[in-house]
Structure 1
Amino acid sequence: MLLTAINKNGDAIRLGVHLSRFQLTELKRQESFHCPVCGGALYLKIGRKKIPHFAHQKATNCLEHFERESEYHMLGKLQLFDALEQTGVKPTLEPYFHTIKQRPDICFSYGTKLYAVEFQCSTIPEEIFIKRTEQYQQQGITPVWILGGNRLKRKSANTVSLSGFDYLFLSDRGDFHIPYYCPSTTRLIFLQNPHPISTTKALLSLSIYALSALTVLKIVSHIHQPSPLENSWREMVEKYKREYSYFQGRRKDPILMELYQNHLPFHLLPAVIGLPVTFAFFIETSPIVWQAYLYLDVFQHRLKGQIVTFQQAYQSFKIRVRKRQIRLRVLPLVMEGNASLAVMDYLCLICELGYLKKVGTSSFQVVKEMNSPVSSDEFSKVSKEFYESYSNLLGKRLMK
């Protein structure tokens, strides 16, 4: 279904939210329409249930024929177009770029850049998402991918469930954020600075705006002050540690087996395992798990005064990745950062917590050994003291 067609004079005809039923009827009576992609004949459908749109008169192999847009998608696209038009940027609805054979929902210029808005309400293969993104970037176009609000799975005030597909939309234009738009409520939702707890669950801040308050800057470079999250982080990490061992199918889980061999119960892992670090979203595996591997490989037997290097830590991390015990994410819209920076940030945070001291560009000396509690009572006591002592520091980290 299309909202844009070419008339007999070669001019673009775009259906908008402001056209009345009478205007649409007159347009249909006076004009003939052709597909901007394949040139095939189109007809204008003016129903009472669906949004007016163009459709091919005959079966075709045109790429538009295979992109079945829902009513929800078309309405959202029109609303976003109309809102951008109100800002004065002169957007174009459904432009077609012949060189890359792509048709974004909306295109507009701002400053010296050209932006392509893709409002995505259904799942598409990751390779297609990445290919489209790279094609836009190769043409000097900045892609702005926005998820349909019907995909947002909110678990609590600051907790959401994010699939691997959802994470593809993570952008670093401004702060780290995933944008959503819901045409039913006309609300833009930005999930800011997601800190993964598990493969799918993340702690984050949410900013919600009425579409009428849309500015171009919110779209091209979103920045907003996040909420304090340190108490929620502690609760979620400790709950994850308690419950992980009891999940069905985890008997042969490699981290549990390795911890068992080292006489370390998962629920008694020290508080320094499960810390919020920058760029952790590049790692699909839970931070509690990948930091537990670093503890086993690097810190468990290190004594006070001994040296740990970033190269040692990252090498052990990469070995776990090769063994598929740690999994990484591809984030095509995040221009800077990678998993190695998450590992380095973890070492730097441990320094700030007083366990390590930086003695070189990438070398650290053990100041305090990372001992694991031996009982639930000791864990509760040590964990409480840890979070009370470092609440402000962790709070600042969660706001990055």
Structure 2
Amino acid sequence: MFSAYDREGRKVCLLHYNNEEIKGMREKTFSCPDCGDPVILKTGNYVTPHFSHKPNKRCRHHVEGGEGKYHENGKRDLYYWFQQQGIFVKLEYYIRRIKQRPDLLVKWENKYYAIEFQCSTIPGEVIVNRSRQYLSIGIHPIWLIGMRRISYKSDHIIMQRFEWLFFQKLSKESISPRLLSYCPNVKRCLLFDEPYPYKRKVYGSARIQPLHRFTFAHWFQNIENMKSSFINKWFEIKKMFRLTVPKRLSRQEQIFRNWLYEKGFHPQQLPAYINVPISSHYKIETPLYIWQAFLCIGFIKDQEIGETFTYNQCLEYVERWIMYRNIPFYHDDKEPIYEYLLLLQHLGIIETVGKYTFMKVDNIHLYELLEEALRQDALILQRLQV
């Protein structure tokens, strides 16, 4: 951390001093703003000057993630970035009312924001509880993750379950959850919207560039929709799904394939409207093709033409097979099962006879030839681009 109290109780922020001044502080005594225990001033030719607890201390700050050079450098970069925009910013400001010390406390357009740059894995409950405490006194939390936690490619990112906790709603105008990420090593910031996950890969709309080319206002603005190029990519995903079998099957994948084989079907035969992306499917951790196949093959296929069924019946059937994703900082009215039913209506498989009641109007057809399946995949995805 960059801030500590000296013996007289004055707050010392190392970012306000040059290297020579900091070296002159080595013999002074400092204490942690959180727990009050003594901290050590660390400095040197290859060390970013900072304060550190003595070994084995159980300060809340250490228990909830600690800090390292990567985190310190990122926090410093963001601090100077806000200053350069003329935005009020406090580094490691201790909020006594809730006993929290965000990395940065920012005031912008008459609102306070707690900026947290998270680089280590900590329990999700800690993240949620800390955010709730900020909100309880009118401070809006904004979380960034260290970019080394994810792998950014030209059209997708690769990440683990933990990183999903940081998708958030930053403004009332947000059209999708947003992930913010920063790398102090290369000074680049990533804004990532409209997540469409496929296994560990997440496709979406991304904007990545040097931090100095962003303003704080950019964090709240929507990114240009990349749906056209994304749909083309999804055709390749569907093609790979039909043509290849994973070398290692997860337990969930094995259960699904066994279920499909017991019904006499193969993944290559699945209708083109299975494994089709919808805007809210990120809310379900279970792979898209699994829960859509369970709904179409396991439930709708058994209905007679002209027979009606309800959304709640579909939900009750499918929820036995799915696991929802934990995204605590983004909420909207979209429900993936219902959104998928509306897609099937658009494609002419079912019709709406009431807001939550549907009627089957076409049979669920499985393909005999791979060529026909791939042709139908292309046609379905073309209709989604319209």
User: TM-score with structure 2 length normalisation?
Assistant: 0.90
Contact 2:196-2:277 within 8 A present in 1 as well: yes
Counterpart of 2:87 in structure 1 is 89
| Cα gap change, 1:210 to 1:62, in 2 (>3 Å) | same
Aligned length: 379
Choose from 51, 55, 72 the match for 2:48.
Answer: 51
Counterpart of 1:140 in structure 2 is 138
Counterparts of 1:87 and 1:55, CA distance in 2: 30
Deviations 1:34-84 (Å, cap 9, x if unpaired)? 221122333432211110012346864333355431111100010011101
Counterparts of 2:314 and 2:345, CA distance in 1: 14
SS for the counterpart of 1:52 is strand
Counterpart of 1:189 in structure 2 is 190
CA-based RMSD of the aligned residues comes to 2.4
Contact 2:88-2:108 within 8 A present in 1 as well: no
| Cα gap change, 1:161 to 1:99, in 2 (>3 Å) | same
Deviations 1:296-328 (Å, cap 9, x if unpaired)? 33211234333232121111122x1xxxx3111
- Shift of residue 110 of structure 1? 2.3
- Structure-to-structure mapping, 1:1-400, within 5 angstroms: 2-16=1-15, 19-28=17-26, 32-56=29-53, 60-66=57-63, 67-154=65-152, 156-173=153-170, 174=174, 175-198=176-199, 200-219=200-219, 221-227=220-226, 228=228, 229-244=230-245, 247-248=248-249, 253-318=254-319, 320=320, 325-337=321-333, 341-388=335-382, 390-393=383-386
- Shift of residue 345 of structure 1? 0.7
| Cα gap change, 1:379 to 1:88, in 2 (>3 Å) | same
Counterparts of 1:284 and 1:309, CA distance in 2: 24
Q: Between the two proteins, what is the percent identity of the paired residues?
A: 28
Counterpart of 1:398 in structure 2 is none
SS for the counterpart of 1:270 is coil
Counterparts of 1:370 and 1:189, CA distance in 2: 42
Contact 1:94-1:104 within 8 A present in 2 as well: yes
| Cα gap change, 1:249 to 1:9, in 2 (>3 Å) | closer
| Cα gap change, 1:64 to 1:362, in 2 (>3 Å) | closer
Counterparts of 1:187 and 1:27, CA distance in 2: 33
Counterparts of 1:251 and 1:39, CA distance in 2: 49
Counterparts of 2:138 and 2:69, CA distance in 1: 31
Contact 1:37-1:62 within 8 A present in 2 as well: yes
Contact 1:245-1:256 within 8 A present in 2 as well: no
Counterparts of 2:331 and 2:340, CA distance in 1: 21
Counterparts of 1:363 and 1:56, CA distance in 2: 61
Counterparts of 1:277 and 1:381, CA distance in 2: 20
| Cα gap change, 1:251 to 1:365, in 2 (>3 Å) | closer
Counterparts of 2:251 and 2:58, CA distance in 1: 47
Contact 1:197-1:288 within 8 A present in 2 as well: no
Counterparts of 1:298 and 1:37, CA distance in 2: 56
Counterparts of 2:352 and 2:99, CA distance in 1: 52
Deviations 1:133-162 (Å, cap 9, x if unpaired)? 3333333322211110111213x4212222
| Cα gap change, 1:59 to 1:172, in 2 (>3 Å) | closer
Contact 2:117-2:144 within 8 A present in 1 as well: yes
Counterparts of 2:157 and 2:268, CA distance in 1: 23
Counterparts of 1:179 and 1:214, CA distance in 2: 12
* AA matched with 1:356: I
Counterparts of 2:247 and 2:41, CA distance in 1: 57
Counterparts of 2:251 and 2:284, CA distance in 1: 20
Structure 1 unaligned spans of 5+: 394-400
Counterparts of 2:185 and 2:313, CA distance in 1: 51
Counterpart of 1:396 in structure 2 is none
Contact 1:192-1:206 within 8 A present in 2 as well: yes
SS for the counterpart of 2:116 is strand
Counterparts of 1:268 and 1:58, CA distance in 2: 60
| Cα gap change, 1:43 to 1:261, in 2 (>3 Å) | closer
* Greater mean deviation of Cα atoms: 179-188 or 209-218: 209-218
